[in-house]
């Protein structure tokens, strides 16, 4: 890694958590990106002390001490997860053609940056790929013969993408009724559990029942026939689980997962298809898990309280 030079812009999405933000920022600082784009939501007026937390979190960005162009997109009011993250990423890709994207609780292993940069270049003009993830939830199971594999799952705890892919993003999931009524999910071979999970959540997003942005990203990628890249080892540790989190509430086997460096040069897979065994494993072990049921139950309660 000594001869690696990060040239890719990094987008950093922050809010009200100075503790996790500081840790993620420290890893970004080690990578020394030449351009840092920072997106921040505003405080909720109903939350005492949140204005101070937001200001303290934003002040961490003032610690940039390497040659770097810093661009900020700070909201004065609270836009919520769906509108703030989606509008923030819109803004990022108005500024740059491609970017590595980290949220304030996604702690990257150092080789994550090189992994993203090399694959952003390799697949820059390949419309079959929508994003590069830093996440691996296969728990040590190797999938295929490369340093990474292709997947229908778009894990976003640390990822990278291009303007050309994000251009198809559909925040309101407007295409969903047509896809639903055509039985389109069955063509992805997600199995009964997977189809039910995604159908339920795409419908909830379309109905405005969930304040999130990432299901829409999955839907947009799938409707355009695009796959995600998943590394053979886990490169991101989510350090944000807890009562202060928005979505990742409580404990989980996915909390603070162990990371390990990926080896270079990268070995590229010979087959360009979603790795079915890996996706089946994720569908079976992640989607219907008690972890997600608990998260959604608590999230509904959180959103109900936030609306009061």
pLDDT interval class at 301 (50, 70, 90):
very low
Q: Model confidence at 191, in pLDDT bands (50, 70, 90)? A: confident
| CATH class assigned to 10-306 | alpha beta
Find the angle CA(176)-CA(171)-CA(203) to the nearest 5 degrees. 35
Confidence at 298, pLDDT banded by 50, 70, 90 = very low
Q: State yes or no: pLDDT of 132 exceeds 50.
A: yes
pLDDT band at residue 2 using 50, 70 and 90 as cut-offs: low
User: Would you state the pLDDT for residue 303?
Assistant: 44
Mean per-residue pLDDT, 178-199: 85
Report long-range pairs for 41-45 (Cβ below 8 Å, ≥24 apart): 41/15, 41/16, 41/75, 41/78, 41/79, 41/80, 41/81, 41/84, 42/74, 42/75, 42/76, 42/77, 42/78, 42/79, 43/16, 43/78, 44/78, 44/306, 45/78
Better pLDDT: 273 or 288: 273
User: What confidence score (pLDDT) does residue 285 get?
Assistant: 87
* 52 Cβ contact partners less than 8 Å away, ≥ 6 residues apart: none
Mean pLDDT lowest for which of 87-91, 150-154, 293-297? 293-297
Of the listed ranges 71-75, 98-102, 126-130, 191-195, the least confidently predicted one is 191-195
Q: Residue 183's pLDDT band (boundaries 50, 70, 90)?
A: confident
* Amino acid 242: pLDDT: 64
Q: What is the pLDDT averaged over residues 198-203?
A: 94
> What does pLDDT average to over the chain?
90
pLDDT-derived band at 297, boundaries 50, 70, 90: very low
pTM, two decimals, is: 0.90
C-alpha R_g of the chain: 19
Q: What is the pLDDT of residue 302?
A: 40
pLDDT tens-digit readout, 4-32:
999 999 999 999 999 999 999 999 999 99
Give mean pLDDT, residues 149-172.
97
Using pLDDT thresholds of 50, 70 and 90, give the confidence band for residue 229: very high
């Amino acid at each position: 890694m000594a001869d690696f030079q990060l040239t890719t812009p990094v987008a950093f999405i922050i809010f009200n958590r100075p503790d996790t933000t500081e840790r993620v920022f420290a890893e970004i600082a080690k990578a020394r990106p030449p351009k840092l784009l920072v997106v921040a939501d505003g405080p909720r007026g109903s939350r005492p002390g949140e204005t101070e937390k937001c200001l303290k979190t934003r002040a961490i960005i003032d610690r940039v001490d390497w040659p770097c162009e810093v661009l900020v997109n700070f909201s004065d009011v609270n836009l919520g997860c769906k509108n703030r993250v989606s509008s923030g990423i819109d803004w990022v890709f108005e500024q740059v053609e491609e970017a590595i994207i980290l949220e304030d609780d996604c702690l990257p292993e150092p080789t994550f940056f090189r992994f993203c940069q090399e694959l952003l270049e390799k697949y820059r003009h390949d419309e079959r790929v929508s994003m590069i993830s830093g996440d691996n939830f296969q728990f040590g199971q190797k999938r295929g013969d490369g340093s990474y594999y292709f997947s229908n799952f778009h894990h976003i705890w640390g990822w990278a993408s291009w303007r050309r892919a994000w251009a198809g993003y559909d925040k309101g999931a407007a295409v969903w009724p047509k896809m639903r009524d055509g039985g389109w999910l069955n063509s992805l071979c997600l199995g009964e559990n997977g189809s039910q999970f995604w159908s339920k959540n795409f419908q909830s997003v379309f109905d405005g029942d969930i304040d999130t942005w990432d299901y829409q990203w999955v839907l947009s990628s799938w409707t355009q026939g695009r796959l995600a890249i998943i590394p053979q080892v886990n490169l991101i540790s989510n350090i944000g689980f807890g009562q202060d989190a928005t979505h990742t509430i409580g404990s989980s086997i996915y909390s603070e997962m162990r990371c390990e460096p990926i080896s270079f040069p990268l070995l590229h897979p010979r087959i360009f298809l979603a790795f079915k065994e890996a996706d089946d494993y994720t569908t079976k072990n992640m989607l219907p898990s008690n972890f997600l049921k608990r998260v959604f139950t608590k999230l509904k309660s959180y959103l109900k309280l936030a609306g009061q």
